[in-house]
């Protein structure tokens, strides 16, 4: 796996040289492609200049920034000179409780690995301190020239992980019509707590991506008959207490009330 960032995590006067590796990858199993619905021909997307209408090769593509003097053309080598300290240093401005970061702002995750001789000890020390205090470091980092807020946290007890975050202005406000003021009764709340306890696990359950198999079944059915049955609609429970009780019995494996 290739490193996507090399630099230093700065904590006060401590400088920890590290490399970051992507913690996740985007896969597209069962990916469909765009076609012309009339004859099945593949749809191709091309880069076309709106000035002369000609197709443009990738080598001729640059970046444009609008200024009062007009459009300024910036090439990749120009962007490489951006004066961003966060390109090489994740400067931790402070430490906050681990649960205080809004999960809606999480963007990407990166494994942190110590780099070079002498980095192992401060790495281990920082991870141990964050774990013991249940806190995360906050700062900002520029990966692939895009600067974002970031947090540094531990995982698996002794390892470090960097999460980049969306900026607060990139977060959408929740729709107002989804806000509910319905308060649960004491009995409903007790039953809900019993259900949560009955389904409590030490780790997330194993799950599987069923998209590819479902897509294959859909394509086979369409090819065989040209007609598709509508998917069954889930029946919403009407009686909340009855649904809670049934859910608890199912979670416990009970056969009778």
Instruction: For the chain, list the domains and their CATH numbers.
Output: 5-25+82-170 (2.40.290.10), 183-202+235-257 (no CATH)
Sign of the dihedral defined by the CA atoms of residues 142, 145, 147, 148, in that order: negative
- Counting residues of the chain whose pLDDT is more than 90, the rounded percentage is 42
In a 10 Å sphere around its CB, with 0-12 CB exposed, 13-18 middle and 19+ buried, how is residue 31 labelled? exposed
Token pair of 11, please?
């904590």
Whether 228 contacts 217, CB under 8 Å: no
Cα–Cα dist 134/202, whole Å? 19
Per-residue model confidence as pLDDT tens digits over 71-107: 888 888 888 888 888 989 999 999 999 999 999 999 9
Phi and psi angles of residue 216, each rounded to the nearest 5 degrees, phi first: -65, -45
Mean pLDDT of the 7-11 span? 93
Q: Across all residues in the chain, what is the average pLDDT?
A: 87
Q: In this structure, are strands 135-143 and 70-74 parallel, antiparallel, or unpaired?
A: unpaired
Task: Identify the three-state secondary structure at position 63.
Answer: strand
Check whether 203 has a pLDDT greater than 90: no
155 Cβ neighbours under 8 A, 6+ residues apart: 161
CB distance 38 to 135 below 8 Å: no
Distance CA 173, CA 26 (A): 26
73/152: higher pLDDT = 152
Q: Which two tokens stand for residue 100?
A: 């205080």
Task: Give Cα separations from 55 to 33, 43, 73, 75, 149 (angstroms).
Answer: 22, 16, 19, 19, 38
**Residues of the chain by 3-state class (helix, strand, coil), percent to 5:** 30, 30, 40
Question: For residue 102, what are its two tokens?
Answer: 């809004």
This prediction's pTM? 0.79
Q: Is 195 exposed, middle or buried (0-12, 13-18, 19+ CB in 10 A)?
A: buried
First-to-last CA distance in the chain?
Answer: 53
Residues in the chain, overall count? 257
What average pLDDT score do residues 12-37 get? Answer: 87
Query: What is the distance between the alpha carbons of residues 67 and 52, in angstroms, rounded to a whole number?
Result: 23
Q: How confident is the model at residue 178 (pLDDT cuts 50, 70, 90)?
A: low
User: For the residues 178-202, what does the mean pLDDT come to?
Assistant: 83
Rounded Cα–Cα distance for residues 107 and 209 (Å): 22
Beta-carbon count within 10 A of 63 CB: 11
> Residue 129: how many CB atoms within 10 A of its CB?
14
Rounded Cα distance, 159 and 106, in Å = 19
């Amino acid at each position: 796996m290739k490193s996507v960032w090399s630099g230093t995590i700065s904590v006060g006067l401590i400088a920890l040289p590290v490399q970051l590796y992507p913690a996740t990858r985007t896969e597209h199993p069962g990916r469909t492609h765009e076609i012309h619905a009339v004859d099945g021909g593949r749809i191709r997307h091309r880069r076309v200049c709106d000035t002369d209408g000609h197709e443009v090769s990738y080598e001729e593509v640059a970046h444009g920034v609008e200024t009062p003097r007009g459009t300024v053309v910036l090439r990749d080598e120009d962007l490489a000179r951006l004066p961003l300290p966060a390109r090489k240093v994740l400067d931790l401005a402070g430490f906050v409780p681990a649960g205080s970061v809004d999960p809606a702002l999480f963007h990407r995750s990166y494994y942190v690995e110590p780099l070079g001789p002498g980095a192992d000890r401060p790495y281990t020390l920082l991870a141990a301190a964050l774990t013991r205090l249940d806190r995360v470091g906050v700062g900002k980092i520029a990966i692939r020239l895009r600067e974002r807020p970031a947090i540094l946290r531990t995982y698996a007890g002794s390892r470090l992980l960097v999460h980049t975050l969306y900026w607060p202005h990139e977060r959408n406000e929740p729709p107002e019509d989804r806000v509910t003021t319905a308060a649960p009764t004491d009995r409903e709340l007790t039953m809900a707590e019993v259900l949560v306890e009955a389904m409590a696990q030490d780790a997330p359950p194993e799950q599987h991506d069923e998209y590819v198999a479902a897509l294959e079944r859909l394509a086979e059915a369409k090819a065989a008959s040209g007609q598709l049955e509508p998917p069954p609609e889930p029946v919403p429970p009407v009686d909340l207490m009855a649904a809670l009780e049934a859910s608890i019995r199912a979670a416990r494996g009970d056969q009778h009330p």
